[in-house]
Structure 1
């Protein structure tokens, strides 16, 4: 089956199956009358993210075996001491950047809002933070397996720069059916996708990209979205698209710069060693398929 599908068709089939699985989960929540509660309740969101991650990663793993004849472990999930230090540094940088950014906007009257310092004294805030961390890790995990691990594997026969742009674009597109065409969110997904793709290229670990992706989502909740008993800022209005876009661009540049500092010893666009080996198999497969296709063309 895998030999009959081009890399582009494999990406399409896997994306469609993943989106369909998420539609089934969302539909089930609606039938149970829990969809609105999911948006407001961190606990329900945590449970939903857990089930979606299990379903989607299992589905992607199955499709990888059928379409690509490879095991999901080959994508790279290792975590070493350097990786943990990188994640900690990324968390500090991201949190500092987002709090400073919103604080500057408020201070200079670009937006209206206040800092909820009293939340930091409440135990419930830290419990919600823990639940949010775990929930966002599950939510980010299946997106990283699909859009970084699988998409980039099937784009690896292209030039590196092309891969680093197409993967974020696909990452943005698969969010649209559920989140719409909000310009601020489109920028969030695209710039985030660029930074995660580059991080995966250099670190070779989906575990690292998953944790950084989760950090991004958690800090956005803390600063941008006026979530009751959780957001550290009470904003009079949601950030407009250009303010959100500026922040996402700043964060993207920061993560890419941080990634290069930690993992860039072998060059700016040189993939991690494990990915070079993994992707080389795919490149050879594409070459063989092309030769076979040309040989039967009259």
Structure 2
């Protein structure tokens, strides 16, 4: 397994290189620049800024310079937050996004697997219909509706939790953002687990185990659930990356200082280095999460072999 993991990491380098290259040139093809304001700057000021940030150099030279800096772990200075480098912004925002994303994913997996298993055991009965209805509601209602609603109910009306803010990472400030992020994922995991469990419960190994008189707990947890977890594990990899960086709406509504907002702000402001840094971080996490999914596959399904 270690040899397989190392091989995947080595082959991920060209993939990351292609992603960085495409992102570098695509963002520069887009109209506008990082210093295009509503009130244009004086030509002398614009010339000085372009010289300081080396935007007056040929594009190929900028590209090679960025690759060289990136190889040393330097994402460059931010064009919007001019007192900070992109690395400094990520150093403060990434741990916050990781906390929210990891907590939301864990909550989604636990509740989604439990609800999906329960729905499969109550197939075509009231419990199944209720679980599917709740899952459908969770998928269709977007976070920008759920977040203000939760903040209004639990933060303003009831006063149980803070309506917004990070509060230096206090648990009370994390609950509403985590729940908002987790609800759509709970719905998806519930539907995936339900469909896989229904198929697993009707499979030949589980039917044989039932014929041998094994208990319901052993039959469901040891045999059926292990097989049903495979599609959930496949979904968990991309979901983890999405939760980590795609929480811009939740972070904005609740005032959470994560990195999700940086990507949108950088794209709107043509902050080349901030957008590139976000692309590199997201791509790296996607590659690592997909590798983790492949390795977990081997632990769940003994038929998987790594060549």
| Superposed pair shares fold, TM > 0.5 | no
**TM-score, length basis structure 1:** 0.27
Which has more radius of gyration? 2
